[in-house]
Chain A
């Protein structure tokens, strides 16, 4: 038995989202009052009820959220920022102490993930050891919130208001990572990967050892861009191109192939809007005008690493 599982924290997230929805519904000046409130309440419900209602119902709720977003019914409330002078004065007053809550998040996450997973007595575990990292990160966020409230002396509704303001700047893009993960499972079920691996091998003269390396690296990067996830690409491309061509046909070293191949997949992650949690959500969090600004900043880096990996694998994989 496990006393604390992730479901508890998903419920907290659901609760936060309901409070955000409630705040929007109560705000008569909100430009998209009811659409936005419904959107955040629906999202909250998927977190709170996730495992308790059938997946089909969640599917319909997802469809409803997509329709609300597509119909432009999800908007931002008018910004009610504290004037910069007031914030500067607060920075002066609180100084270094402002950092403690911010640092409490990683500190709790690191300590918790090392220690909490081992606490158990008579078969009862304090937390689910398999989820120690996520649970500790969530705990860190809550510890930080408690510290922050104590430090600033703010009322409990302030963090909900301010957090809601940031969530509204991210907006419907917050859904993208989960939506893309769902698309990935459908791609996997439909067998998209083997089709791509087949196309690549059929189109290229893979009897040359270096062509096999190029096909594998390009396959990893491209399929990662399509799936938004290098882990999903790894099994498909390594199984379809890497193992049969580099290892079995040309006698390459599997460890070198896999290690460099995975990192070549990460070059694809840097380049794709499909990896929304790394590229799109941060652009919204940082309030960038161009949704693809992070990808554009990363493109030269990804190109350099891709070429370096290609050369590295070509020189090393058949030699060691």
Chain B
């Protein structure tokens, strides 16, 4: 039970809005000490895992120089302008289309997109551009909500398409787990049973995107246009 001290620290620290880095380090040290590790051992463990997981930070750092350069030369403005010509576009529909593209491509094993490479420079500006074309000025709060939903579209598309493809990540992990247990489980069955949830995830995204569009229409409605 005492091993759960770290989890308690995390919950309290995040709830009280302490700096998350401090909370995570403190939770690691507490858990390690409870499990009988010494302080230097814990720091070594942290250092080792930090180096082993450099791949998590690498894409952001490598991609932002070129994205920053292109943004300085008007990439976001171009992405917004593209949407001016598409009359049927709404912020929700742009995001939904992105989720669909992301789900289908990753189900076929092609991993395109990403928060730094696609959402920030292209998808979020396109969604905001669609909202501006339709409603004129968009309040800052609304623009923030559109951007948050753009990040959600990326995550949902990424997570709930991947398990349908048999040659990467999750399916192989499950397969190797069952192999180690000595149980014959087919990768095809694993991929097939990922399909219903992929469909549910897309349906949930349809619902959220329509809710988002209604919210944009409500928050952008001009005050003077209302009946007295």
Seen from chain A, the residues whose Cβ lies within 8 Å of a Cβ on chain B are: 6, 9-10, 12-13, 16-17, 46-47, 50-51, 54-63, 65-66, 69-70, 82, 84, 87-92, 94-96, 98-99, 101-102, 105-106, 109-110, 133-134, 137-138, 141-142, 144-145, 148-149, 151-152, 154, 158-167, 170, 172-187, 189-192, 195-196, 226, 230-231, 234-235, 238-239, 243, 254-256, 258-260, 262-263, 266, 269-270, 273-274, 276-283, 285-290, 293-294, 296-298, 300-301, 304-305, 308-309, 312, 316
Contact = CB atoms under 8 A, between A and B. Distances in A.
A158 B31 contact: no
A107 B189 CA distance: 31
Given A94-B74, A243-B181, A191 B35 contact: yes
A109 B111 contact: yes
Contacts of B51: 46, 50-51, 55, 58
A175 B21 CA distance: 8
Contacts of A183: 6, 24, 27-28, 31
Nearest to A247: B183
B56 A159 contact: no
B97 interface: no
Given A176-B24, A182-B50, A190-B34, A110 B69 contact: no
Contacts of B66: 101-102, 105, 141, 144-145, 148, 159, 163
B70 interface: yes
B42 A186 contact: yes
The size class of the interface chain B forms with chain A is 35 or more
Nearest to A131: B55
B135 interface: no
A260 B119 CA distance: 28
A51 B50 CA distance: 11
Nearest to B168: A133
Interface centre among B61, B154, B204 (most CB of A within 10 A): B61
A141 B59 CA distance: 8
Interface stretch (B85-93, B192-200, B217-225): B192-200
Contacts of B32: 186, 189-190
**10 smallest A-B Cβ distances: which pairs?**
A162-B68, A91-B74, A58-B47, A59-B43, A59-B47, A163-B65, A190-B35, A182-B49, A259-B193, A255-B189
Contacts of A259: 163, 174, 189-194, 197
Given A98-B70, A293-B144, A69 B21 contact: yes
A311 B54 CA distance: 38
A165 B203 CA distance: 37
A166 B64 contact: yes
Nearest to A9: B58
Contact of B56 (A105, A178, A279): A178
A127 to B, nearest CB: 15
A102 B194 contact: no
B200 A285 contact: no
Given A84-B77, A226-B10, A259-B194, A106 B65 contact: no
A67 to B, nearest CB: 9
Given A87-B74, A87-B77, A101-B66, A56 B21 contact: no
